[in-house]
Amino acid sequence: MNKKHISEENLNFDMSSNVLKFLSEEQKEYIRNIMFSVNFSKGEIIFKQGTPMLHIVFIIGGMAKIYIEDNNNKNIVISLIKPGEIIGGPGFYTDYKHHFSVTALENTTACFIEVAAFKKMILESPEFGLEFIRYRNIRHINFYDKLRVTSHKQMNGRLAHTLLYLSDTVYHSNSFKTTLTRQDLADMSSMTKESAIRVLKSFKESGIIECQNNDFEIKNKTALKNILESG
Amino acid sequence: MNKKHISEENLNFDMSSNVLKFLSEEQKEYIRNIMFSVNFSKGEIIFKQGTPMLHIVFIIGGMAKIYIEDNNNKNIVISLIKPGEIIGGPGFYTDYKHHFSVTALENTTACFIEVAAFKKMILESPEFGLEFIRYRNIRHINFYDKLRVTSHKQMNGRLAHTLLYLSDTVYHSNSFKTTLTRQDLADMSSMTKESAIRVLKSFKESGIIECQNNDFEIKNKTALKNILESG
DNA sequence: CGCGAGCTTGACGTTGTTCAACTAGAGTGG
DNA sequence: CCACTCTAGTTGAACAACGTCAAGCTCGCG
């Protein structure tokens, strides 16, 4: 993990793609001066559930998974984070703890902004506060969707949900190569690795998807959406 | 449903028990003038998932359930709301829609504040914005807990979670009388009504709880917590 | 060549839902 | 005062969904 300050180009890119874009020029300059970046290798933990939340983090390269760790080794993958996206968990201005862990899925560069600076921005600029509320609320809405799927859909529907999320939200393509393991797919769908494999196989056999190893192709998205709705 | 303005005593009571207490005196006065209250009978819907979110609501009397409605008649009860508590859903400053429904569990009085007024308060006072962020984040943290329980615990653990929530957070007592039906308890625990009944029976038979009709008594809270943790 | 991590498959047992029947109590109307 | 009905609660049996366990596989890497 090597720590460094950010080149200005990178920073401008980042600030235009998340909630930071609502800062004034002066504020951006301030943030620019105090933030720092760290490179993580694939598999490294960016931060760990239960530890103090000292920074708001955002990713400027690579990809990471956000997941809740359960007592008995069962994880729930909540979402994947791509370049430009910010991670400001619900610990902000509450207990200042991380309520989930974040791990790099490939080599990933993360930027760190102290929470105190973030709070300062909100106090200086209530418009920014509103935008941050919007960001938090969108996360919350996504979460409602996840709860609905995990409590009332069965395995086919849950895995369909995961595949559609990967295709529509993460990779923006019907065919994609991923670094996610079968265990990760299972953790995204609230089932065991073995079950995920079996459901993938049944999707393959009915011609809905193609997949070998980590290459996926969705052949029939309509069918997948039907499975999500009905099952 | 009769609509009326709020007596000042009521209002002061309310404002001291939720996020509104962080408003200035002038702001409180402003809110006092524009808010109105409505009485709901047991079973009446206060607002419905999918409809436009025009107001922030809080309860000054009675009790209500917040629940997500699923396509196929399966509901997920997220939480119960008591007097003093505010309901500002994740639709605020995003899509301005209700992402859940709220129904009165007994005769209930609800106060309505226009969302525009709420937004005005945040723009006037960034400290209030921060407090609102805290309120939203606490809701979000509770939600993490719910997701963990529903995805990885089995029926005994899920119903134990519900009973502990009722005892510790809602009624603040080991014995309580509730207006919740068995179906409500099931919807809080992500299972069918029949399963909820069977689990309650098994808890009764092992002496962990007493219950007849709507009177509940938790005899062995430690056992209940162990069930939540282990299964 | 062998080792190890992730992947795959099958057999089996458990968990939880579904369906149908039955019970109890609370109105309601004759 | 007695049927009648309606709703919530309860129980049992059959069945489907899902996890567990154990074994074998594949493929990259030392």
Nearest residue in chain B measured CA to CA from A90: B137
CA-to-C1' span, B141 to D17 (A)? 30
Block residue for tokens 């007024």: B117
Q: How far is B123 from chain A (nearest CA, A)?
A: 5
- Does the residue A138 lie in any domain? no
- Give the predicted TM-score (pTM) of the model: 0.92
**Is pLDDT of B15 > 90?**
no
Residue A132, min C-alpha distance to chain B (Å): 8
pLDDT given for residue B17 in this prediction: 73
pLDDT score recorded for residue B19: 87
Contact B151 A152 (CB under 8 A): no
* A15 and A118 assigned to the same domain: yes
- B107 and B19 inside one domain: yes
Separation in Å: D3 C1' and B71 CA: 39
Percent of chain B at pLDDT exceeding 70: 94
One domain for residues A17 and A55: yes
Tokens of A88: 């400001």
Task: Sort out which chain B residues have CB atoms less than 8 A from A143's CB and list them.
Answer: 140, 143, 147
Which site among B136, B138, B229 would you substitute to test the A interface, given the most A Cβ atoms closer than 10 Å to its Cβ?
B136
Residue B200, CA distances (Å) to A157, A184, B203 in order: 29, 35, 5
Per-residue tokens: B182: 């068995």
Low-confidence ranges of chain A (pLDDT < 50): 1-4, 8-9
Residues A98 and A187 in one domain: no
Is residue A136 domain-resident?
no
Cβ contact (<8 Å) for B141 and A74?
Answer: no
CA distance A150 to chain B (A): 6
State which of A91, A111, A127 marks the end of a domain: A127
CA angle at B193 for the pair B172 and B103, rounded to the nearest 5° = 55
CATH number at residue B167: 1.10.10.10
Q: Tell me which long-range contacts B225-231 makes (C-beta under 8 A, separation of at least 24).
A: B225/B160, B225/B164, B227/B156, B227/B157, B227/B160, B228/B149, B228/B153, B228/B157, B228/B160, B228/B161, B228/B164, B229/A71, B229/B157, B230/B157, B231/B153, B231/B154, B231/B156, B231/B157
Taking the Cβ of residue B122 and every Cβ of chain A, the question of whether any pair is shorter than 8 Å is answered with: yes
Same domain for A163 and A84: no
The closest of A23, A3, A4, B79 to A12, measured between CA atoms, is A23
Q: Express each pLDDT in B33-69 by its tens digit.
A: 999 999 999 999 999 999 999 999 999 999 999 999 9
Domain total of chain A: 2
- B36 within 8 A of B60, measured Cβ to Cβ: no
- Residue A20 has a pLDDT of 86
Q: Please name the member of A74, A90, A138 whose beta carbon is closest to the beta carbon of B152.
A: A74
Q: Domain for residue B184, yes or no?
A: yes
Q: Are residues A159 and A46 in the same domain?
A: no
Question: For B72-116, what is each residue's pLDDT tens digit?
Answer: 779 999 999 999 999 999 999 999 999 999 999 999 999 999 999
B42 plus B97 within the same structural domain: yes
With a CB cutoff of 8 Å and minimum separation 6, the contacts of B73 are: none
**Does the residue B140 lie in any domain?**
no
Q: State whether A123 and A156 are in the same domain.
A: no
Range in A222-226, B14-18, B110-114, B153-157 with the lowest mean pLDDT: B14-18
**Is residue A53 assigned to a domain?**
yes
Residue A211 domain boundaries: 152-230
Cβ distance of A147 and B100 shorter than 8 Å: no
CATH number for A123:
2.60.120.10
The mean predicted confidence, pLDDT, of chain B is 92
**A7 and A105, same domain (yes or no):** yes
Residue B61 domain-assigned?
yes
Residue B60, CA atoms < 13 Å, CB-side half-sphere: 21
- On strand D, nucleotides with any atom < 7 Å from a protein CB are 8-13, 17-22
For chain A, state the CA radius of gyration.
19
pLDDT at position A10 is 56
Residue A165 and residue A118 share a domain:
no
B140 pLDDT more than 70: yes
Task: Using the structure, give the distance in angstroms from the CA atom of B194 to the C1' atom of C21, rounded to a whole number.
Answer: 14
- Within this chain, do residues A100 and A208 fall inside the same structural domain, yes or no? no
**Chain C nucleotides covered by protein, CB below 7 Å:** 6-11, 15-20
- Residue B138 is assigned to a structural domain of this protein: no
CA to C1' distance (Å), from A184 to C2? 29
- pLDDT-derived band of residue B152, with 50, 70 and 90 as boundaries? very high
Q: Does A154 touch chain B (CB under 8 A)?
A: no
CB B13 within 8 A of CB B61: no
Residue A121 maps to a domain:
yes
- Higher pLDDT, residue B147 or A72: B147
Residues A98 and A189 in one domain: no
Within an 8 Å CB–CB cutoff, is residue B22 touching chain A? no
Q: Which residue is associated with the tokens 């969707």?
A: A145
| pLDDT value, residue B36 | 94
Mean pLDDT across B191-213: 96
